[in-house]
Amino acid sequence: MKQIHLASGLLSLLTFFVIEVNAQSITITPKWTAQAQFAGYYVAEKMGFYKEEGLEVHIRHPFISESSFSFLDKGLAQAVVMNLSYALTERAMGGARVVNIMQTSQENNLMLVSRSPLKGISSLQHKKIAVWNHLSQKLLDQIARFYNLQVEWVRFNSGVNIFLSGAVDICLVGSFNEYPQLIECGMKIDSTCTLRFADYGYNLPEDGLYITEEFLYQHPEAVRKLVRASIRGWIWANEHREETLDIVMEQVHRCNVGTNRYHQRKMLEEVLRLQVDRRTGKRTYHLSREGFNCAVNHLLPENVQKSNHISYEDFVK
């Protein structure tokens, strides 16, 4: 009997060892430093969801001045979190063969905050507008072209000091990060001094998970497992928010990011809200055809749409 138990134990150990040796190694690079915006991926790694799928997943954050796309482009990561706007413009105008395999954001979080009332898009004409360094110039040019704007884009890395100091007239902020930061700094923001992009026809879905076509064709089963485990991580994060914040705070402490639990809670709540499709009231984790078409119409000039046509089926897998 002991020999049977011993043989069974050795077989289990051997099976575990083989699974570990054959595990597909994948590096995920979020588009920013550690924060609750990427909570679902942290959860999937911490709770072992990736390992259960036979994947060895590593999460590698970029520096503030780096884009997640550069990690994919240089082969430093196999999957990256990017805005739909960034990914689409890089594919259409930069030739990058990237594909969307999962969509977390379903609603746009971008806002403009001003010291004086904003009466529509025309209020932006000839203003200094602070924008993040990681936004591509192609995207900014296309936004200005779409709304017929002449503005001065002032680049900055992070935070809200550029606006608080009075260096710019208007600042681009995210509803889940910089906007609550301004409030936490004691600033009282009148609703007439804010402009939400989503209210002006620019309700583009944002965060999605992207890989190269080459990686998809070489490892289709690993990609399916990656998506399945990542979705499971986000579902768990939505259902266990305080435990998720524990995991997030482990990440931010490990990465030496200056923040606090209160701010990360506000971020997590807003990120999870933005994941809900307002038409269905559900989290689909999929980029809809409507969201894709909205991005194409807003971001790509007509000549690019005609000369370098990208179909929904080519871009969304």
CA dist., res. 84 & res. 141, Å (int): 16
CA dist., res. 84 & res. 261, Å (int): 28
pTM of the model: 0.86
Cβ atoms within 10 A of the Cβ of 243, count? Answer: 14
pLDDT tens digits, 40-98: 999 999 999 999 999 999 999 998 888 999 999 999 999 999 999 999 989 988 889 99
In Å, how far from its chain's centre is CA 70? 15
The half-sphere exposure of 46 on its side-chain side, counting CA atoms within 13 A, is 19
Q: Where does the pLDDT of residue 306 fall: very low under 50, low under 70, confident under 90, or very high at 90 and above?
A: low
CA dist., res. 165 & res. 138, Å (int): 28
More confidently predicted of 270 and 190:
270
Q: Is 209 helix (H, G, I), strand (E, B) or coil?
A: strand
pLDDT tens digits, 99-110: 999 999 999 999
Q: Is 309 helix (H, G, I), strand (E, B) or coil?
A: coil
Instruction: Decide if 154 contacts 162 (C-beta within 8 A).
Output: yes
Q: Where does the pLDDT of residue 197 fall: very low under 50, low under 70, confident under 90, or very high at 90 and above?
A: confident
Instruction: Decide if 274 contacts 105 (C-beta within 8 A).
Output: yes
Instruction: Decide if 285 contacts 67 (C-beta within 8 A).
Output: no
pLDDT on residue 9: 52
Q: Where does the pLDDT of residue 238 fall: very low under 50, low under 70, confident under 90, or very high at 90 and above?
A: very high
